[in-house]
Amino acid sequence: MSQPIAEFKQSQPLTLGVELELQLVSVRDFDLTRGATDLLGSMDYDGRFGDIKLEITESMIEVSTLPRPLVDGIAADLVGLRQALVSQCARNHIAVCGGGTHPFHRWTERRICPGDRFDEVYHRYGYLAKQFTVFGQHIHVGCTSGDEAIWMTQALGPYVPIFIALSASSPFVDGEDTLFQSARLNAVSAFPLSGQCPALRDWAEFIEHFSFLQACGIARSIKDLYWDIRPKPEFGTVEIRVCDTPLTVERAAALTALAQSLVHHLLRTRPELDTQRHLYVARYNKFQACRYGFDGQISDPTGPRQVPLRQITRELLAMLVEDARELGCSAWLQLLDASLAGEISDASWLRRRQAAHGNLNDVVREATMRFRNKGSTHFAGAPR
């Protein structure tokens, strides 16, 4: 049954929320394990840092922060959620880690979690639902109105490749090096309503567009829109959905600082948008970021020209310095700048560990340690 879009809930501008989809792995061989329902059923957690809930398969768990005005609050929630989840996992003989894909699991062994929504997705999309055992970070930024959310959804569109490259952590699929930096988004792209928001003037036109999709039988609810960036009316936010789940919560916080600083900059400068022209190159640019990371070449339709993604990212981080300072998140943004300068990424870390060990089981084992912030693999310099 089709569901109407909820009324857009006004929220404080620049308020933040983060969701992380995490991997549940066996401590025996570090393959994915079917433990989510039992884990949550036995969990004693009071919700002080946000929510811990099921995702589509039993090998996934999702954590979501409380709404926070500052990145430091998001970081504190993520640390609290990590501790609660890691402690409960240890009691259940499970480990937890980040990363956009599990490097060697078999999708045929996945089991769909109980729930009407998950059951509907499975029966509608078939095996794609099990192949959707991939792991992303979603970043919500508060908007004052539906019109502002639609404008922001389109204003953020050209920056999608930067978020992909900075978060890329999924080079391995089915035990093989894909040669991609982010292979996760290939699974998302298989869904018929993935991609970008079309050129829309305002919230009323978005409602008209979505009603048309419903009348054609294409979409039932707004959850069927697997757009890279989409409005979230019940939260009063715009949601950035292209990031792989990082290997550390510190990097997740740094990506959140980028989102908040960028939205602040866009609201402050109100650049003229040419959404239709950018849509012509959006799929190509997304592929470049997924495949090559910062070595990708981004097509600028306003040139027209091609520009190295590494150059665009450096220019953006430099442009956002004052915005980040005003928001109190400069230190977080500097972490991304340092990782770009040192060519340090989660995807390259995973490849280096595979080269060192010669097997992916030990790569996942080290990834669980990295997520717990054990040893020397911490995202160096993260604010405390």
State residue 129's pLDDT score. 84
Residue 253, C-beta contacts closer than 8 angstroms, at least 6 positions apart: 18, 71, 74, 75, 78, 332, 382
The whole-angstrom separation of Cα 167 and Cα 182 is: 8
State residue 1's pLDDT score. 63
Provide the CA 175 distance to its chain's centre, in angstroms: 22
Residue 39, C-beta contacts closer than 8 angstroms, at least 6 positions apart: 24, 61, 88, 89, 92, 94
Sign of the torsion angle spanned by Cα atoms 154, 158, 164, 167: negative
User: Before 304, cis peptide (omega within 30)?
Assistant: yes
pLDDT per position in the chain (384 positions), as tens? Answer: 678 888 999 999 999 999 999 999 999 999 999 999 999 999 989 999 999 999 989 999 999 999 999 999 999 999 999 999 999 999 999 999 999 999 999 988 888 888 887 888 888 889 888 888 999 999 999 999 999 999 999 999 999 999 999 999 999 999 999 999 999 999 999 988 899 999 999 999 999 999 999 999 999 889 899 999 999 999 999 999 999 999 999 999 999 999 999 999 999 999 999 999 999 999 999 999 999 999 999 999 999 999 999 999 999 999 999 999 999 999 999 999 999 999 899 999 999 999 999 999 999 999 999 999 864 344 434 554
State residue 202's pLDDT score. 97
The whole-angstrom separation of Cα 303 and Cα 272 is: 15
Q: Domain 15-372 belongs to what architecture?
A: 2-Layer Sandwich (3.30)
| Overall pTM surpassing 0.85 (yes/no) | yes
State residue 272's pLDDT score. 94
Q: How many CB atoms lie within 10 A of CB 112?
A: 17
Q: What are the beta bridge partners of residue 139?
A: 18, 240
- Indicate the domain borders of the chain: 15-372
Give buried/exposed letters for 217-238 (b at 16+ CB in 10 A, else e).
eebebbebbbbbbbbbbebbbb
State residue 275's pLDDT score. 95
Tokens of 19: 């969701």
State residue 345's pLDDT score. 95
State residue 115's pLDDT score. 85
State residue 382's pLDDT score. 58
State residue 119's pLDDT score. 86
The three-state DSSP-derived secondary structure of the chain is CCCCCCCCCCCCCCCEEEEEEEEEEECCCCCECCCHHHHHHCCCCCCCCEEEEECCECCEEEEEECCECCHHHHHHHHHHHHHHHHHHHHHCCEEEECCCCCCCCCHHHCCECCCHHHHHHHHHHCHHHHHCCCCEEEEEEECCCHHHHHHHHHHHHHHHHHHHHHHCCECEECCEECCCCECHHHHHHCCCCEECCCCCCCHHHHHHHHHHHHHCCCCCCHHHCEECEEEECCCCEEEEEEEECCCCHHHHHHHHHHHHHHHHHHHHHCCCCCHHHHHHHHHHHHHHHHHHHHHCEEEECCCCEEEEHHHHHHHHHHHCHHHHHHHCCHHHHHHHHHHHHCCCCHHHHHHHHHHHHCCHHHHHHHHHHHHCCCCCCCCCCCCC
